[in-house]
A and B are shown apart, each in its own frame.
Chain A
């Protein structure tokens, strides 16, 4: 494909990309290096695995990680499904109310979303005899993830040719069939990107989660923030290194699977 770029321009791009990736990964590299530092402080004192041992012995940390994964998975699946359907519906015919409220959910500061949801839950739970827990956190995460999904999928939909669907209908497909077999495959990369975005915002959320989490649903960001506020702690370095390595492996494996 002739994109009109010279070889030198292509190299320039590649060089820029390499620099950008270095910028993204440098802090992580530093964290990884200091996760095997024997000293607690930022003075190098030899290799040691003590922080990894401490991490595995920390019951609080492990439990909160499990909670975070459960919540993030649930909210990602739901948000991606709900959001994709909503984006398609909005593309077909716009709805000021829905678009407006989706945008509002993005615009509202996290602290406000958190407090307003908390107030709402407290009022609702007087009548429903429930308490704050995983379900309240998942619902809260949905409130802001869906907008991200809609944004990404809709942006992609705007580059989709509607006549393709019409052609399918002319050939006898049902509406749902046309959607499933023509539009959806086209949207697949955007849906995957949107799911990744939804997972990211869910697993990293601190402000809203800390307000609506109940007694039993402490998440990883909450534990990390508490530890981090008390100063540099190499156990945090160990945690982040493990997460990056585990996810990196997942990414590489999924890439292998797709390529084969």
Chain B
């Protein structure tokens, strides 16, 4: 048992050491260095980057990012679970339906975001149609606000919720569901008290896969939010590009990672580190 497992674990261990451990160590070191005059890092080491983070300005930014990511994740789970259920129960056409969920997401995320901008704009398709039908008189402001950002996030990350949910639901023991039905449970009760609890690993995986990227997003809030709000992702991206303050960007990243790790530990179940 031991030998096989060591062989199996070796490639990923090496990969993680090279692409994660070392670069992350570099980021940690950067976070306690000083900003170079035009970017990059310089030697005098300091904790100033972390003390800057105590400012309430950054707390507000973190708070808003968490809020938006949480809403988007919740929506993805609520919308994705019934879809995963449907696919898992479609018999022979399972794989077709699953592929159809993935298919739109093999096109560019950026293009799809632009398509939504076209739909949501004041002179976009939706407003034009609604006005033509006489349902509204002035265009609805559907773009360049937090709602548009959440819509973009849900649209972008729905398959990352559906796939793990499907992978778990697909192999649920059908006899358990039959037993529940035989015992007189109505479909909704079966769903709430049998299916969903049994799909817990898939739900946790889906939640992580959606929440984390949503937390670090910046393209969506730039494009659909009109760049009017600043989320953590924008803040970090700014530090490494426009502001050229790598140490501060590194400090924010370490804090972000720490918070996310804390979240993971909070939802941990016995004997399952990853989900």
Contacts and interface: CB of A to CB of B under 8 A. Distances in A.
A and B touch in the complex (CB under 8 A): yes
Interface string A175-203: 11001000000000110110011011001
A243 B166 contact: no
Interface residues of A, number: 108
B72 interface: no
B45 interface: no
Given A2-B178, A82-B15, A155-B167, A17 B82 contact: yes
Given A4-B186, A116-B26, A152-B205, A105 B5 contact: no
A221 B110 contact: yes
Nearest to B260: A107
Given A108-B24, A193-B163, A255-B96, A28 B253 contact: no
Contact of B9 (A95, A104, A109, A175): A95
A259 interface: yes
A16 B233 contact: no
A89 to B, nearest CB: 4
Interface string A66-106: 00000000000000011101101110111111111111111
B134 interface: no
Nearest to B90: A17
B119 to A, nearest CB: 7
Interface in A166-180: 175-176, 179
Contacts of B4: 175-176, 179
Contact of B273 (A34, A96, A200, A236): A96
B11 A232 contact: no
Contacts of A81: 11
B274 A4 contact: no
A112 B115 contact: no
If over half of A's interface residues share one DSSP class (helix, strand or loop), that class is named, otherwise mixed; here it is helix
A24 B115 contact: no
A28 B206 CA distance: 24
Nearest to B271: A94
B158 A24 contact: yes
Which one of A88, A115, A123, A206 has the highest number of Cβ atoms from chain B below 10 Å of its Cβ?
A115
A224 interface: yes
B167 A30 contact: no
Interface string B42-86: 000000000000000000000000000000000000010011011
If over half of B's interface residues share one DSSP class (helix, strand or loop), that class is named, otherwise mixed; here it is helix
B115 A28 contact: yes
A117 interface: yes
A109 B205 contact: no
Contacts of B174: 1, 3
A52 interface: no
Contacts of B26: 116, 119-120, 123
A148 interface: yes
A50 interface: no
Interface of B: 1, 3-5, 7-9, 11-13, 15-24, 26-27, 30, 79, 82-83, 85-87, 89, 92, 95-112, 114-116, 118-119, 123-125, 155, 158-160, 163-164, 166-168, 170-172, 174, 177-178, 180-182, 185-187, 190, 201-202, 205, 208-209, 212-213, 215-216, 218-219, 232-233, 236-237, 240, 246, 249-250, 253, 256-257, 260-261, 264, 271-275
